[in-house]
């Protein structure tokens, strides 16, 4: 019986075709030598005292790349946990905002998809806490055989309630692969986190620009959108799977969200863009679209956004 393969909302080829990859590799040999990586995402000292004791406020702390600590209704929720010091042959560009040893115990872990820069098994093993795993359809068995028993998988638009927090798996435009034989054998997507009195947080995972952002915006009243802005260059190759900074701002508008927090940049050299380029393009487009500057939160690693919950 053939294995189930997952797809996108629209018939867009997202697999890394050999000819495209070879072309990119040849271009990159020249481009990588001329890129300026001297600008790194800054780190601030995390407020560990608050994070270790917080059980009442909603907070969002950027650890790096797509890894956040989201605190909601007394739960510690970690997204795409990656504390790796290198990805493939590339060293991490900036240290994580919170060291693993300083993390509060994780109650819930949200995985967007199986790519190595979003699912790092070693980091996941070392993360303390009960670690209830919420994962895309097709991924549970892979984690189960690695010892992660408390794992629940979801198809798009499916949700669960956990200690007063509703968490919904929502679409993205992407693909998955961890070995030569499991192309698109597990799904990909983002997560919406809702509480009764606190803000609604949308974690996009990885995605190209697609009509699904509008669908998500119609279904949820999103306050904070965590959206990727990196790994978009060269756009002829990356556009179907990674939004550019300009497309991320369009997605923010499609979602109707109140605040935009950029992610998926500044930790690893995954493509040909640099953190400085991503931020400069983001700011240029924000000004062109006349989005108020206070709506876009450029977080340093380790910084925490705190929200007073309505009674």
Residues 6+ apart with CB under 8 A from 260: 225, 227, 248, 249, 252, 291, 295, 296, 297
Evaluate whether 166 touches 177 at the Cβ level (below 8 Å).
Answer: no
Neighbours of 93 (CB within 10 A): 19
Closest CA to 39 of 290, 310, 296, 273: 273
Quick one: CA dihedral 282, 286, 291, 292, positive or negative? positive
How far is it, in rounded angstroms, from Cα 42 to Cα 94? 8
What pLDDT, in 10s, does the model give residues 188-240?
Answer: 999 999 999 999 999 999 999 999 999 999 999 999 999 999 999 999 888 99
Domains of the chain: 38-307 (3.60.15.10)
What's the average model confidence in pLDDT over 47-73? 97
**Beta carbons of 3 and 185 less than 8 angstroms apart:** yes
Answer for the pair 167, 160: CB distance below 8 angstroms, yes or no: yes
Q: How far apart are CA 285 and CA 246, in angstroms?
A: 6
For residue 181, the model assigns a pLDDT of 86
Position 143 pLDDT exceeds 80:
yes
pTM beyond 0.75: the answer is yes
Q: Which two tokens stand for residue 52?
A: 């270790």
- Residue pLDDT, tens place only, 155-180: 999 999 999 999 999 999 999 998 88
**The pLDDT value given to residue 21:** 56
Nearest Cα residue to 119 out of 158, 87, 154? 87
296: Cβ contacts below 8 Å, ≥ 6 apart: 259, 260, 262, 282, 286
Per-residue confidence at 1, pLDDT binned at 50, 70, 90? very low
Query: Residues with Cβ < 8 Å from 281, sequence gap 6 or more?
Result: 244, 245, 246
For the cut 90, the answer to whether the pLDDT of residue 131 exceeds it is: yes
- Better pLDDT: 311 or 301: 301
Query: How would residue 31 be classed by pLDDT, with cut points 50, 70 and 90?
Result: low
- Tokens 């790994």 sit on residue: 231
Strand partners, 151: 133
pLDDT in tens, 277-308: 999 999 999 999 999 999 999 999 999 999 97
């Amino acid at each position: 019986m053939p294995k189930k393969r997952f797809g996108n909302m629209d018939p867009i080829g997202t697999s890394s075709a050999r000819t495209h990859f070879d072309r990119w590799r040849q271009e990159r040999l020249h481009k990588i030598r001329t890129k300026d990586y001297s600008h790194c995402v800054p780190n601030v000292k995390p407020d560990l005292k608050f994070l270790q004791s917080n059980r009442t406020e909603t907070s969002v702390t950027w650890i790096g790349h797509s890894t956040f600590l989201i605190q909601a209704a007394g739960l510690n929720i970690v997204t795409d946990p990656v504390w790796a010091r290198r990805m493939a042959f590339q060293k991490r560009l900036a240290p994580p905002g919170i060291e693993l040893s300083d993390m509060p115990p994780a109650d819930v872990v949200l995985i967007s998809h199986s790519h190595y820069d979003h699912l790092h098994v070693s980091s996941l093993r070392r993360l303390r806490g009960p670690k209830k795993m919420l994962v895309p359809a097709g991924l549970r068995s892979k984690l189960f055989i690695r010892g992660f028993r408390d794992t629940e998988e979801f198809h798009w638009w499916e949700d669960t309630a956990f200690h007063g927090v509703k968490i919904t798996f929502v679409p993205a435009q992407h693909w998955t692969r961890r070995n030569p034989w499991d192309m698109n054998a597990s799904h990909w997507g983002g997560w919406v986190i809702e509480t009764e009195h606190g803000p609604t947080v949308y974690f996009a995972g990885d995605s190209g620009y697609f009509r699904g952002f509008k669908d998500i915006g119609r279904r949820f009243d999103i306050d904070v959108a965590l959206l990727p802005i990196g790994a978009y260059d060269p756009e002829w190759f990356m556009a179907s799977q990674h939004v550019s900074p300009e497309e991320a701002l369009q997605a923010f508008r499609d979602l109707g969200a109140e605040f935009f927090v950029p992610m998926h940049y500044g930790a690893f050299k995954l493509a040909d863009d640099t953190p400085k380029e991503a931020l400069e393009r983001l700011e240029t487009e924000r000004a062109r679209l006349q989005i108020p500057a206070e709506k876009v939160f450029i977080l340093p690693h380790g910084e925490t956004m705190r929200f007073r919950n309505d009674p």
